[in-house]
Amino acid sequence: MGLLAKIDNEFFQEVGEISRFTARFFKEVTKPKQEWEEFINQCYWIGYKTLTLVSITAFIMGLVLTIQSRPTLVEFGAASLLPSMVSVSLVREITPVITSLICAGKIGSGIGAELGSMRVTEQIDAMEVSGTNPFKYLVVTRVLASTVMVPILSILAIGISLYGGYLGANIRGEVSWTLFWFQAFDALSYGDFIPSIIKTVFFGFAIGIVGCFKGYTSEKGTEGVGRSATTAVIVASLLVFVLDLIAVQITDLLGLT
């Protein structure tokens, strides 16, 4: 019981600290004089530097999903539904979630390690002494960049994964370019696309907040930096699943599914 109580205390303490950290973010982001140059720089590092990994993963997702789904549909005589099924699956759920998990691994760990290193080497303390607002410069810019770039990466990944699906449909079958895209988009609606993009905004925000929180509050030297990067990935990935579950329930209540 003592161990369970300790775990519960640590969990709720962590939740409280992240909540205060998030509240401070919203307070700082409303203050004038944003660090736009650093924000654009972080968009480059978070977005462009992650694009290759996201693109390769999205292409393989679309290709594999189509190849794996085709035999089952053929067995039930529904092979013509392959483009529709693949497009709905990729757009609604698979591509946004997998893309966000990739971002949680790469972006979350990168931010956690970077800010953790700055914390243990006292660079953040030096910024405070020099009169610079390190929270606004380091945290606000990274969280905003993550919130903006994850949805953009998700949109690009959806297009690439659908192209992978087209190639997968033509490996053992023959579907024309026009027919595949007509069936794919005919099965989709704004109720499929818009909610999947909106939830990636929250995924990106969660990834940025968790990565910055773990790095900004890092301690215990280089060991703490490694722990910050690792826990940032774990917590951010878990939050992606939790937020996705909440988003699915909301869209179901609104009748968008």
pLDDT per residue rounded down to tens, the chain (257 residues): 455 555 557 777 888 888 999 999 999 888 888 888 899 999 999 988 899 999 999 999 999 999 998 888 888 887 788 889 999 999 999 999 999 999 999 999 899 888 888 888 888 888 888 877 888 989 999 999 999 999 999 999 999 999 999 998 888 778 888 988 998 998 888 888 888 999 999 999 999 999 999 988 887 777 778 888 888 999 999 999 999 999 988 888 877 66
Q: Residue 186 phi/psi, 5° resolution?
A: -65, -30
68-96: per-residue pLDDT in tens? 988 888 888 877 888 899 999 999 999 99
Distance of CA 10 to the CA centre of its chain: 26
CB 219 within 8 A of CB 119: yes
Contact predicate 42/136, CB 8 Å: no
DSSP per-residue letters across 225-242: HHHHHHHHHHHHHHHHHH
Q: CA 177 to CA 162: how far, in whole Å?
A: 12
In terms of pTM, does the model score above 0.85?
A: yes
Spatial separation of the C-alpha atoms in residues 170 and 158, rounded to whole Å:
19
φ/ψ (deg, to 5) at 96: -60, -40
DSSP state of 172: S
Taking every pair of Cα atoms in the chain, the longest distance, rounded to a whole number of angstroms, is 71
pLDDT one-digit tens code per residue, 125-166: 888 888 778 889 899 999 999 999 999 999 999 999 999 999
Closest CA to 240 of 201, 193, 214, 206: 206
Q: Contacts from 242-246 at CB under 8 Å and sequence distance 24+?
A: 243/199, 243/202, 243/203, 243/206, 244/93, 244/97, 244/199, 244/203
Q: Which residues, at least 6 apart from 245, have a Cβ–Cβ distance to it below 8 Å?
A: none
The C-alpha atoms of residue 146 and residue 42 are separated, in whole angstroms, by 8
Beta carbons within 8 Å of 34's beta carbon, 6+ residues apart = 136, 140
